[in-house]
Copies of this chain bind each other. A is one copy, B any other.
């Protein structure tokens, strides 16, 4: 029964990245498929990660004055059609409700693919005066987009997200909000998820349907593909005019407010996995790990071992998320593998010899060597370790991204690089849609963003057409 068996059965990452990803999420019970094609079930361990991500963002939203609210799941077709670009962008992927109870509806209702339209229809009713501005509201919910090809967390027909929807008196204030929320997205992604982000502006082609301008944070996955991880849109007055949202301004005149929206989703969990995890399974940053420390009693049948293990648990769980694995019928070695696969940042082993030496054995999931810690000041030392692991994961991810970030000055260099060593390509761009399209056609790479931090890459000519370039942009193949 207590045989040492291999728990993992995870396809090596280098062998088949897509299969490795699927193995990691399914075998760790983060997620499962469901009876409805394209819809995923988020299992408790996966949902625990989401709750921690959600809590971190929600706290920052509230600290910056935003309040949550909830709008209807269903949107009348006529409402969805009010903003032209928007309906064009979303209509092909909408799920339609046509019957309620036993009756056919007079008008089809869309399950929200995003809520700009229904929220604007209510804002139009509510807003009266400049004194009420800004409107700083957010909604946590699920949305549905009828995708043909899906992958859990990365692209599914339904996903969980938040969508902020704000109104402002002036364009400048809306622009400030758009960038502030992008900043919060980046801050939490880097501090909690330990994922370094490139932030910048989307091209006209890649921007949100109905936006004035879209900003994004982009992460680089271990396989060299980019993941759009959060977007923040300055919607200008497109929607406020289409939905006739007006207010009485400071001078008594009727004005249209400026509008933003911004969202992050369960997609971040996919990014988390593809940045940090390895051939042994999940690697979770301490700040969002559902379990931060797992205690494994060694020779647990010996007197005093379980008592000591539970004593340590009681002490540590005042501050941390701790579990103890005292299941019977499994060897410590088997448990080590199991919890390594689950990505728990710290494994704490305690056996008779450790008790005699007044110490515990510590194994870090980020690959550092096993060490021992004295029983004294354990809580404090665990804190240091968790902080250290959090930082080391970020540092490692940043290093990996830098090693996979390249410069290309012409299309030959671009193609060769992205084929030989997939990653971010920094290249100059003239700003024309034609070049953007051609780059995609020739290389499969899309323009991820025009970063705020422009660099001198030793060229001022468009990588594609060689005309004078406007900006340096990041390109990559993307999820």
Contact = CB atoms under 8 A, between A and B. Distances in A.
Contact of A72 (B36, B100, B125): B36
Given A41-B71, A74-B39, A95 B100 contact: yes
A70 B50 CA distance: 10
**How many of chain A's residues touch chain B, expressed as a range?**
35 or more
Nearest to A34: B72
A73 B32 contact: no
9 closest A-B pairs by beta carbon, nearest first, are A39-B72, A44-B67, A100-B146, A96-B99, A42-B70, A101-B146, A98-B98, A34-B72, A47-B69
Nearest to A79: B35
Given A35-B79, A97-B98, 15 more contacts: A35-B72, A35-B121, A36-B72, A36-B75, A41-B71, A44-B67, A44-B69, A51-B68, A73-B111, A74-B144, A95-B99, A95-B100, A97-B97, A98-B99, A100-B146
A137 interface: yes
A92 interface: yes
A103 to B, nearest CB: 8
Interface string A83-118: 000000000111111111110000011010000001
A40 interface: yes
15 contacts: A32-B122, A39-B74, A41-B122, A42-B69, A42-B71, A47-B69, A48-B67, A48-B68, A73-B73, A73-B158, A92-B101, A94-B101, A95-B97, A95-B99, A111-B111
B47 A67 contact: yes
Contacts of A94: 100-101
B98 A93 contact: no
B92 A158 contact: no
Contact of A40 (B72, B95, B141): B72
B97 A111 contact: yes
A76 interface: yes
Interface of A: 32, 34-36, 39-44, 46-48, 50-51, 67-76, 79, 92-102, 108-109, 111, 118, 121-122, 125-126, 131, 137, 141-142, 144, 146, 157-158, 160, 327
B72 A43 contact: no
Contact of A93 (B67, B76, B101, B131): B101
Contacts of A96: 97-100
B99 A92 contact: no
Interface of A, secondary structure class, is mixed
Contacts of A50: 70
B98 A70 contact: no
A1 to B, nearest CB: 12
A146 B98 CA distance: 12
Nearest to A142: B73
A125 B31 CA distance: 13
Nearest to A98: B98
A67 B131 CA distance: 43
Nearest to A93: B101
Given A92-B101, A95-B99, A101-B146, A36 B109 contact: yes
B39 A73 contact: yes
A41 B99 contact: no
A243 to B, nearest CB: 11
